[in-house]
Structure 1
Amino acid sequence: MSWPVTELDAVARMRVLAAALPGAFLAETVLDAPFERVWAVAADLENELPRLLRTIRSVRIVRDDGEDLVADITGHFGLRDSFDIALRPGWCVMQSGRVVGGMAAVAEGAGTRFAFLGALRVPGTRPLGPVLSLAGRPLGRGMHTRLRDRVAGTDD
């Protein structure tokens, strides 16, 4: 007997990750730009992530082993942490002991479907899941708007 097999694209995998993390939020959008242009901006973590995600003040890559990175990320609200990062074309997951973040992108027609994930990794998060998910939506919408502007070159 053979089992059914399916392949998940990067955005579908990010949906699975969001479903598995208590209190995670996932925001998706379709950008009117080719995958290569969208991912070039999104994957430039040191330069672009602080522009895209307003809770981050700086990102400094301290170890680069190809697709596996370590970064020191400092936030505007006092968060300063070291993040292990898996960065591949169309896929980025960043995690510390307290936070998980992710981005995924796939070509969709002439544009790009882009997903942004955020979750807390602290005890007691599960009961707050629906509240945290709701609270994350404006953060995701803001990131999508800034990404759209950066890709179009209209925010310089």
Structure 2
Amino acid sequence: MNWPQAELTDVERFRALAAGVPGATVTERVLPADPDDVKAMLADLDVFATVQADFVSATVEAQDGDRVVVRAKGARGQRARLVGQLRPGWCWLQSRFLIIGMAVAAEPGGGTRVALTGGIRVPGRAAIVPIGVRRESTKTLDRLEELLRS
């Protein structure tokens, strides 16, 4: 049998994953940059922490392939132990009270599409409190775009 096959970009796969999380809002932007440059930049946790709204630092505590445990510190002194997947062009991390996700894909015709979601997690559920999600993701994309220009 010949079953239909579909190739999904990381951004398309990300949209599908985020659609299963109540309250998650995906914010996207096409940036005038090479996809490999954007992927490399966001795979660097120092840069990742710089562009993420409310982050001061992020440090890999443990890693096995693309599975990671990340210790993050927030601007207001909060701390999180995030567990998930981090590889160039893809990030999905969750702690007890936080979800952060990002995906990168080449845009047909040039540039790079970056998709983000994240926010305060509803304890015990894969759900995000929807207040401020788009605003924070927009700030993160603004910071990323500024870094790419420098």
**TM > 0.5 fold call:** yes
- For Structure 1 versus Structure 2, the TM-score category normalised by the shorter chain is 0.7 to 0.9
How many residues align? The count is: 149
TM-score, length basis structure 1: 0.84
For 1:149, the equivalent position in structure 2 comes to 146
Q: Percent identical across equivalent pairs? A: 38
Taking the aligned partners of 1:97 and 1:114, their CA distance within structure 2 comes to 25
| Higher RCO, Cα 8 Å, sep 6+ | 1
For 2:21, the equivalent position in structure 1 comes to 21
TM-score, length basis structure 2: 0.87
| 1:76 shift after superposition | 2.0
Q: Which runs of 5+ in 1 are unaligned?
A: none
For 2:110, the equivalent position in structure 1 comes to 110
Paired letter, 2:11: V
Q: Does the 8 Å contact 2:58/2:71 carry over to 1?
A: yes
| 1:112 shift after superposition | 0.4
| 1:49 shift after superposition | 2.1
Q: Does the 8 Å contact 2:99/2:128 carry over to 1?
A: no
Taking the aligned partners of 2:126 and 2:85, their CA distance within structure 1 comes to 25
Q: Does the 8 Å contact 2:97/2:120 carry over to 1?
A: yes
Taking the aligned partners of 1:128 and 1:137, their CA distance within structure 2 comes to 12
| SS of match in other structure, 1:141 | helix
Paired letter, 2:33: A
Q: Does the 8 Å contact 2:24/2:128 carry over to 1?
A: no
